[in-house]
DNA sequence: CTGCCACTTCAAGCCAACTTGAGGTCAAGC
DNA sequence: GCTTGACCTCAAGTTGGCTTGAAGTGGCAG
């Protein structure tokens, strides 16, 4: 069994050792044993880290990510919850698409003030149209 | 001219007054005057807040967002920078799409361990393939 | 056997993005 | 003309996600 030192994982994944320890603490990854004091990570951890990176980039908190992928590293939840997460992400994709298109439009639109440009307004309107829950703004307390 | 009280803006946008003041402080939005002590916001601020929300959901910091949209509220940057931002977002959309598809696949795949499932691995691999800059992980100091 | 150096723990620090709280102001309705 | 309540300021607190620093440990090359 070829296990990995924290430094190797760091090098291979681009994640700093301190962050890796933090992730282990938070239950997102797990080392299988110790070699002396040193954590030994199974190679799968690299895949898990990729998933974690994806989740972060999706705007999920580490806690949400931890909930999304079980201790074993692979997604491990009731199917309908997974689907709900997927839909959440889908909504976000739509928002991002609108933002991307808005920026692209602005980069090409010759109008003096974008606020007046109907295309601009339509694009922006198009954004928020999706129910708008996620973990944002006005839902707390 | 019908200007808006901070409370009205809050109600209409779903952003708390404290956050609005914070945004003003940070230069993301601007009030046009005061009525007594009270900030008076132009209606455009609602559109700006939508753009800000989009930017946040895209994972940009407030500072980046402030840089993306000029004081006037509309995007206001050299075209190639706007295009670069748009491409950045595009990359993120690809990542999110991969994550969404991964979750959906897992929700439907009957394999006992996803780590073994080739479809799963392919989906995950598909994610990171895009150069991977953005403001993530291994770029700091 | 001796160092070296990559690791270890633990506490404290840091940044972003807000929120909370105390104490104050002021225009509008009664 | 007084109260009320939505606003104000400013300082401090909170949360998430790490990083940094000090002090210690232990496998392995020489």
Interface membership of A120 toward B (CB under 8 Å): yes
b/e burial code for range A79-90 (CB count within 10 A of at least 16 → b): eeebbebbebbb
For B138, which of A14, A59, A108 is closest by C-beta distance?
A14
Interface membership of A51 toward B (CB under 8 Å): yes
Q: What is the mean pLDDT of chain B?
A: 81
Give the per-residue pLDDT at B124: 67
Distance, Å, A43 CA → C17 C1': 36
Is residue B105 over pLDDT 90? no
Is residue B74 over pLDDT 70? no
Give the per-residue pLDDT at A67: 80
Higher pLDDT: A132 or A125? It is: A125
Interface membership of A89 toward B (CB under 8 Å): yes
Give the per-residue pLDDT at A121: 75
Q: What is the mean pLDDT of residues A50-54?
A: 89
Nearest nucleotide (CA of B22 to C1'): C18
**Residue (of B10, B105, B53, B93) closest to A133 by Cα position:** B53
Q: Which nucleotides of C are covered by protein (CB under 7 A)?
A: 6-9, 16-20, 24-27
Give the per-residue pLDDT at B25: 94
Strand D, CB < 7 A, residues 60-119 of A: 61-63
Q: What is the mean pLDDT of residues A115-140?
A: 56
Contact A96 B97 (CB under 8 A): no
In the CATH hierarchy, which fold is given to the domain comprising B4-66?
Multidrug-efflux Transporter Regulator; Chain: A; Domain 2 (1.10.1660)
Query: Where exactly are the structural domains of chain B?
Result: 4-66, 79-133
Interface membership of A109 toward B (CB under 8 Å): no
Q: What is the mean pLDDT of residues B105-113?
A: 76
Q: pLDDT tens, A67-117?
A: 877 655 566 667 787 888 888 889 888 888 988 888 888 888 777 676 678
Least confident of A67-71, A75-79, B19-23, B73-77: B73-77
> In percent, how much of chain A has pLDDT > 70?
79
Residue nearest to nucleotide D15 (CA to C1'): A61
Contact A86 B93 (CB under 8 A): no
Is residue A137 over pLDDT 80? no
Q: pLDDT tens, B32-58?
A: 999 999 999 999 999 899 989 988 887
Give the per-residue pLDDT at B54: 86
Cβ–Cβ < 8 Å for B46, B13? yes
Rounding to the nearest 10 degrees, give the CA dihedral for residues B19, B22, B23, B25: 160
With a CB cutoff of 8 Å and minimum separation 6, the contacts of A32 are: A3, A40, A41, A42
Q: What is the mean pLDDT of chain A?
A: 81
Residue nearest to nucleotide C8 (CA to C1'): A37
Give the per-residue pLDDT at A105: 86
CA distance B38 to chain A (A): 22
Q: What is the mean pLDDT of residues B7-16?
A: 96
Q: What is the mean pLDDT of residues B63-68?
A: 86
Give B106's contacts in chain A (Cβ within 8 Å). 74-75, 82
Cα dist. A40→A30, A129, B71, B138 in Å? Answer: 9, 47, 52, 21
Q: pLDDT tens, B110-140?
A: 766 666 787 777 776 766 554 333 433 333 3
Give the per-residue pLDDT at B104: 87
Q: pTM higher than 0.85, yes or no?
A: no
| A135 CB-to-strand D distance under 7 Å | no
> In percent, how much of chain B has pLDDT > 70?
77
Contact B50 A85 (CB under 8 A): no
Cβ–Cβ < 8 Å for A31, A4? no
| B37 CB-to-strand D distance under 7 Å | yes
Give the per-residue pLDDT at A79: 79
Give the per-residue pLDDT at A108: 83
Is residue B59 over pLDDT 90? no
Interface membership of B18 toward A (CB under 8 Å): no
Burial class (CB in 10 A: 0-12, 13-18, 19+), B50: middle
């Amino acid at each position: 069994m070829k296990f990995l030192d924290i430094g190797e994982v760091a090098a291979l994944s681009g994640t700093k050792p301190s962050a890796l320890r933090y992730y282990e603490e938070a239950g997102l990854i797990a080392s299988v044993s110790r070699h002396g004091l040193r954590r030994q990570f199974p190679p799968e951890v690299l895949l898990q880290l990729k998933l974690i990176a994806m989740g972060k980039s999706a705007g999920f908190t580490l806690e949400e990510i931890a909930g999304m992928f079980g201790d074993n590293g692979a997604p491990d939840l009731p199917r309908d919850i997974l689907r709900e997460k997927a839909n959440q992400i889908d909504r976000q994709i739509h928002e991002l698409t609108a933002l991307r298109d808005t920026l692209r439009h602005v980069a090409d639109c010759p109008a003096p003030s974008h606020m007046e440009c109907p295309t601009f307004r339509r694009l922006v309107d198009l954004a928020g149209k999706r129910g708008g829950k996620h973990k944002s703004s006005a839902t707390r307390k």
